[in-house]
Amino acid sequence: MSNILITGATGNIGSEVIRYLFEQNTQNRIIAGVRNIDRAKRIFQKYPQLDYVPFDFEDPETFDNALTGIDRVFLLRPPHLSNVDKHFRPLINLMLKKGILEIVFLSVQGAEKSKVIPHNKMERLIIENGLNYIFLRPSYFMQNLTTTLLDDIQQKREIILPAGDAKFNWIDIDNIAEVGAIVLDNFQNYKNRILEITGKENLNFKEISSIMNNNLNHPISYRNVNPLKFFRVKKREGMPTGMILVMIMLHFLPRFQKEPPISNVYEQLTGRKPTKLEDFIEREKGLFEKS
């Protein structure tokens, strides 16, 4: 039995990883490293076997206790933390000191292409320190539609982005988390591998809105804007500047890149096909119809 620390446990991916670990009857001890244990206990009340430990990337004093007795770490970079040297290097150093050599890191598809994105720096940090790793590199989350883009969909009936006609590969977080749980429980089988996790569909936002409109009672539209206009609109709405810049990078740059490659990793690991966008939209229809 291994002791597995899950960071980002209460977020989109982390909470689903925990659900899949217990659904597959993990034989390992799972510990959620969280900032607020009471809140986490409410979120995970269905899983009495889950253990908890205080953990805050922004408070290195929490690291030592959180890593005590741990064999393997699921590392997730919270979206607002980009300073790898400040928030992640000390953690990796302490893992080494404590002899914790197994890490599953949630990266992003294409991380290898850009040295400036934090995921690239984190992958290099992990490799350079000689840890045994599994990098999960998922494509664009379908759940962006039900999180960051949802307010505009519900309130304005539109998706506003500087994405032009760029195609994104769409992946369901459920599928990523399922792969995450499999590799966490079977680390040796996937050790030192990079797993690109994608869906089967490369679609632009025009195509997305049309698929949504085939399924929704209240239609939505896609408004393509230039990055400056996007910045102004979102700033006026009170979105933090850092977040606006990340949104621009994520949606504007793909206009100048090749379509994302499609992988078979999900099928290879689970024997099933990844979620289709149409099925995701049907599943989340209630959210999209609300105003």
Ligand X SMILES: NC(=O)c1ccc[n+]([C@@H]2O[C@H](COP(=O)([O-])OP(=O)(O)OC[C@H]3O[C@@H](n4cnc5c(N)ncnc54)[C@H](OP(=O)(O)O)[C@@H]3O)[C@@H](O)[C@H]2O)c1
Q: How far apart, in whole angstroms, are the C-alpha atoms of residue 258 and residue 246? A: 20
- Using the rule CB under 6 A, which residue among 20, 88, 135, 140 binds ligand X? 140
What whole-number distance in Å separates Cα of residue 207 and Cα of residue 238?
28
State which amino acid sits at residue 129. N
- The residue from 4, 5, 9, 131 that contacts ligand X (CB under 6 A) is 9
- Under the criterion CB under 6 A, does residue 11 sit at the interface with ligand X? yes
Contact between 47 and 38 under an 8 Å Cβ cutoff? The reply is no
Site for ligand X contains 141 (CB under 6 A) = yes
Q: Which residues of 251-274 are buried (b: 16+ CB within 10 A; e: fewer)?
A: bbebeeeeebeebebbeebeeeeb
Tell me: does residue 135 bind ligand X (CB under 6 A): no
Min dist. Cβ of residue 56 to ligand X (A)? 4
| 8 A C-beta contact, residue 170 and residue 139 | yes
The interface region with ligand X, picked from 30-38, 95-103, 150-158, 283-291 by CB under 6 A, is 30-38
Distance from CA of residue 11 to its chain's centroid?
Answer: 9
13 binds ligand X (CB under 6 A): yes
Work out which of 108, 181, 183, 220 binds ligand X, going by CB under 6 A.
108
Distance (Å, rounded) from C-alpha 196 to C-alpha 200?
A: 12
Q: Whose CB is nearest to ligand X?
A: 11
Check residue 77 for interaction with ligand X (CB under 6 A).
Answer: yes
Q: Which range in 135-143, 180-188, 237-245, 283-291 contacts ligand X by CB under 6 A?
A: 135-143
Q: Does 76 bind ligand X (CB under 6 A)?
A: yes
Query: In this structure, which long-range contacts are made by residues 111-114, counting pairs with CB atoms below 8 Å and at least 24 apart in sequence?
Result: 111/135, 111/137
Choose between 13 and 208: whose C-beta lies nearer to ligand X: 13
Residue from 10, 24, 129, 210 binding ligand X (CB under 6 A): 10
Contact residues: ligand X, CB under 6 A: 8-14, 34-36, 55-58, 76-79, 106, 108, 138, 140-141, 144
